[in-house]
Amino acid sequence: MHRAIKSTGVVCLIAALSACASIAPRAPEQQVQARAETYWRARIAGDVKAAYALLTPAYRSLRDEQAFQRQFGAQIAVLESKVTNVACEAEKCIARVGLTTKPVVPGLGLPTVTAYLDETWLLVDGQWWRHEAP
């Protein structure tokens, strides 16, 4: 009986610690990675509204959603995106993103190509936003 109570206590302690870990705030790198992945999923899907919502408040104060769509188009010719690294300072992170596309050249069966870009994410009012020059 004593052993069963001990086992139950250990299980409860592990569950409590797991719950605390899930409540604890995520590191900036994790937050930016999640937001960058969301941004690129939206861009690939042509969800202008979702992508636009992740841009800095400063950009959104200068350009409306339609201007963003005119600047970048509704959908891009990217098959897949992957955030491969995020490096942060106090209020700025650089996310390295791999974008995979298939070049379309008639008559040539070209393979997919992955290009990498570094994008800037800024901390504004406690939230990470993708920086885009207006």
Kindly state the DSSP code that residue 112 receives in the 8-state scheme: P
**Mean pLDDT confidence for 81-93:** 97
Angle at CA of residue 66, ends 61 and 69, nearest 5°:
110
Instruction: Name the CATH code of domain 27-130 (choices 3.40.30.10, 3.40.50.2300, 3.10.450.50, 1.20.1440.60).
Output: 3.10.450.50
What CA–CA distance (Å, rounded) separates 60 from 65?
Answer: 8
Residue 22 has pLDDT above 80, yes or no: no
Residue 14 has pLDDT above 90, yes or no: no
- Give residue 134's pLDDT: 72
Contact present, 32 and 96 (Cβ < 8 Å): no
80 Cα distance to chain centroid: 13
Smallest CA-to-CA distance from 96 within 128, 78, 129, 118 is with: 118
Bridge pairing between strands 92-101 and 127-130: unpaired
pLDDT-wise least confident of 25-29, 32-36, 74-78: 74-78
pLDDT band for position 108 (cuts 50, 70, 90): confident
- Give residue 47's pLDDT: 94
pLDDT tens-digit series, residues 39-56? 999 999 999 999 999 999
